[in-house]
């Protein structure tokens, strides 16, 4: 009867993940692990070759993980790395016996004569680790796929997120030789020359496009303003122009407004009918006809809107990768940055400033990974309101984190003097500012700084080129690559009614 208790206690839990590796030996390369660790302890060059490739988790044996952690600690402290120093470090952390003791460490150093081929061996170890991770992830996905209580789209996001973590943590890009980079640069210059200098994604705002040559691939662009300045109106005008006029696929992540509200703004902009009328359905016969005809362009536009509230940076990256893969999106717009979360459930793990720093770093990483521009809207602090004078925004007004300024390639502001009751610009001519706005490029990592004036139609919250004649000349050059169609005027293309609840008051 004494043996019955252990047998009864070995009940399989309902939610236990049945591993796919059951009955098989997990992928591993113990001999190579020993060779790599031994080489690192006898040759400093071996440490330099693989320290940025490996991490302790990639080793299959727990003792090897402890030894590598000791080597990594010594490396970070710029201390010598050899048999004695590694043994001493393990002794400090009370892990020497768990690592196999002095005798085992001596045996590792005797298995190799030099660090030759250590990088090749390290990459095989890394491949075995990735195989083990994929087995574990696949097992978890299979188990969760049988659970009817889990939403299938949550399952997809979770699976993509886990696979992405494996990629990000282990497939690190190495350096490239100048020869290949020069060839890439020359090919890029040739490509740009064929596009008359437009190397990025055109916004349709003429002077802004001339300043930036379009939003550039891999750039993180921050557009900041106080509430009511028209941040959402500006990016929605851009999105409509890119998708309808230039046929550029655009992804919009709206954390504040619903997707239907955003598309209603675009309908209002495209048709010239106020969103108030669209919301109430009080349209005249000619407006119904106008609506039915002009909305067709928007129906075919490659615009993809996700209105998930409190979106985490990890979910954003997963969704963006899927959109890039399935629909070939060329730009991402986020409205707005401060509403995002880190997706971590740790309490007391950091303040909001640290969270924003993490989000901005990940947005920049996403732009580089997908090689497309990422546009993120941001709020400004109330310091703007308390400051005297014209209240033009400054970089120091960026809310919650200086990391936004550090990570961004372009930091820009939207400023409308009329919002503060001003009637003139603060220039020498004291020109009237009625119906005008300013797009201020305050930081431009790869170009110049400029304040670009735009036309602003208050009752519709529309932004357009201030100099229509100049804009028409630019538009005549920007033909869609797939057709001979001439683009509409800037006034028609960039209109966007902004606040659905309060007509004429933009966000």
DSSP conformation letters of 304-337:
EEE--TT-BHHHHHHHHHHHHHHH---EEEEE-G
Do 57 and 129 meet the contact criterion of CB atoms below 8 Å apart? yes
Instruction: For residue 467, give the nearest of 201, 203, 207, 204 by alpha carbon.
Output: 207
CA distance 136 to 145: 14
Taking phi over 0 as left and psi of -120 to 50 as alpha, with beta for the rest, 380 belongs to beta
User: Which helix (DSSP H) or strand (DSSP E) does residue 62 occupy?
Assistant: helix 62-76
- Helix ranges (H only) for 241-378 are 259-271, 275-280, 285-299, 313-327, 352-370
- Structure confidence at residue 496 (pLDDT): 39
User: Which helix (DSSP H) or strand (DSSP E) does residue 6 occupy?
Assistant: helix 4-9
pLDDT digits (tens), the chain, 507 positions = 444 443 333 333 344 444 444 568 889 999 999 999 999 999 888 888 888 888 889 999 999 999 999 999 998 888 889 999 999 999 999 999 999 999 999 999 998 888 888 989 999 999 999 999 999 999 989 998 998 888 887 788 778 777 777 776 665 555 566 767 677 777 766 666 655 667 788 888 888 888 888 888 889 999 988 888 888 888 888 888 888 888 889 999 988 888 888 887 777 777 777 777 777 777 777 778 777 777 777 888 888 988 888 888 878 887 888 888 888 899 999 988 888 887 655 444 457 778 888 888 889 988 988 889 999 998 888 877 777 777 788 888 876 667 788 888 999 998 888 888 787 887 777 888 887 888 889 888 888 888 888 888 766 667 778 764 433 343 444 433 333 333 344 344 334 334 333 444 454
Structure tokens, 265? 């703004």
- Structure confidence at residue 474 (pLDDT): 39
CATH class of 30-169: mainly alpha
Tokens 């959402």 belong to 232
- Structure confidence at residue 501 (pLDDT): 38
pLDDT tens track for 56-112: 899 999 999 999 999 999 988 888 899 999 999 999 999 999 999 999 999 999 988
For the chain, domain boundaries: 30-169, 198-344+351-464
- Which residues form the catalytic set? 256
Q: How many alpha carbons lie under 13 Å from residue 204 in its C-beta half-sphere?
A: 28
CA distance 99 to 115: 21
Which DSSP letter does residue 301 get? Answer: S
Do 55 and 171 meet the contact criterion of CB atoms below 8 Å apart? no
Instruction: For residue 384, give the nearest of 371, 393, 375 by alpha carbon.
Output: 393
How many CB atoms are closer than 10 A to CB 192? 15
- Structure confidence at residue 4 (pLDDT): 40
DSSP conformation letters of 374-407:
EEEEEEBPTHHHHS-TT----GGGBSS-THHHHH
Instruction: For residue 27, give the nearest of 146, 92, 124, 144 by alpha carbon.
Output: 124
Instruction: For residue 245, give the nearest of 293, 202, 283 by alpha carbon.
Output: 202
CATH class of 198-344+351-464: alpha beta
Taking phi over 0 as left and psi of -120 to 50 as alpha, with beta for the rest, 167 belongs to alpha
- Structure confidence at residue 46 (pLDDT): 86
pLDDT tens track for 197-248: 677 888 888 888 888 888 888 899 999 888 888 888 888 888 888 888 888 8
Structure tokens, 94? 């009370």
Which DSSP letter does residue 244 get? Answer: I
Distance of CA 251 to the CA centre of its chain: 12
CA distance 257 to 309: 9
pLDDT cut 70: percent of the chain above it: 79
How many CB atoms are closer than 10 A to CB 405? 16
What are the E-state strand segments in 432-493? 436-444, 450-457, 462-465
How many CB atoms are closer than 10 A to CB 506? 27
């Amino acid at each position: 009867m004494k043996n019955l208790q252990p047998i009864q206690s070995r009940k399989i839990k309902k939610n236990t993940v049945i591993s796919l590796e059951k009955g098989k030996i997990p992928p591993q390369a113990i001999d190579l692990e020993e060779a790599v660790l031994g080489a690192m302890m006898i040759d400093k060059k071996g440490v330099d070759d693989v320290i940025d490739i490996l991490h302790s988790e990639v080793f299959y044996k727990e003792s090897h993980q402890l030894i590598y952690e000791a080597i990594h600690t010594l490396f970070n402290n710029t201390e010598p790395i050899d048999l004695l120093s590694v043994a001493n470090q393990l002794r400090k952390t009370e892990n020497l016996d768990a690592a196999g003791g002095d005798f085992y460490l001596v045996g590792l150093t005797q298995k190799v004569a030099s660090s030759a081929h250590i990088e090749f061996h390290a990459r095989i170890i890394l491949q075995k680790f990735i195989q083990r991770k994929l087995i574990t992830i696949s097992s978890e996905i299979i188990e969760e796929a049988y659970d009817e209580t889990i939403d299938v789209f949550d399952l997809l996001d979770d699976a993509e997120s886990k696979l992405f973590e494996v990629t990000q943590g282990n497939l690190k890009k190495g350096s490239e030789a100048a020869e290949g980079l020069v060839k890439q640069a020359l090919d890029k210059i040739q490509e740009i020359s064929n596009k008359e200098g437009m190397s990025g994604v055109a916004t349709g705002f003429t002077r802004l496009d001339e300043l930036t040559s379009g939003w550039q691939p891999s750039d993180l662009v921050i557009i900041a303003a106080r509430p009511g300045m028209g941040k959402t109106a500006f990016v929605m005008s851009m999105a409509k122009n890119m998708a309808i006029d230039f046929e550029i696929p655009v992804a919009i992540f709206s954390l504040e407004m619903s997707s239907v509200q955003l598309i209603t703004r675009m309908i209002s902009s495209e048709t010239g009918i106020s969103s108030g009328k669209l919301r109430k359905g009080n349209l005249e016969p000619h407006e119904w006809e106008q609506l039915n005809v002009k909305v067709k362009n928007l129906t075919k536009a490659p615009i993809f809107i996700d209105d998930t509230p409190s979106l985490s940076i990890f979910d954003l990256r997963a969704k963006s990768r899927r959109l890039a893969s399935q629909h070939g999106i060329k730009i991402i717009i986020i409205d707005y940055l401060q509403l995002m979360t880190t997706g971590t459930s740790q309490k007391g793990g950091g303040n909001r400033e640290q969270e924003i720093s993490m989000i901005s770093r990940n947005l920049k990483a996403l732009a580089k990974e997908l090689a497309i521009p990422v546009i993120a809207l941001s709020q400004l602090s109330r310091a703007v309101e308390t400051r005297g004078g014209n209240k033009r925004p400054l970089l120091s007004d960026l809310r919650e984190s200086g990391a936004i300024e550090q990570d961004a390639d372009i930091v820009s502001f939207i400023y409308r003097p009329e919002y503060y009751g001003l009637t003139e610009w603060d220039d020498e001519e004291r020109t009237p500012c009625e119906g005008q706005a300013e797009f201020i490029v305050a930081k431009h990592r790869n170009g110049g700084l400029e304040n670009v004036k735009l036309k602003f139609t208050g009752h519709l919250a529309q932004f357009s080129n201030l100099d229509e004649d100049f804009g028409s000349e630019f538009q005549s050059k920007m033909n869609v690559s797939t057709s001979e169609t001439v683009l509409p005027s800037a006034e028609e293309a960039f209109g966007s009614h902004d606040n659905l609840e309060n007509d004429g008051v933009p966000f």
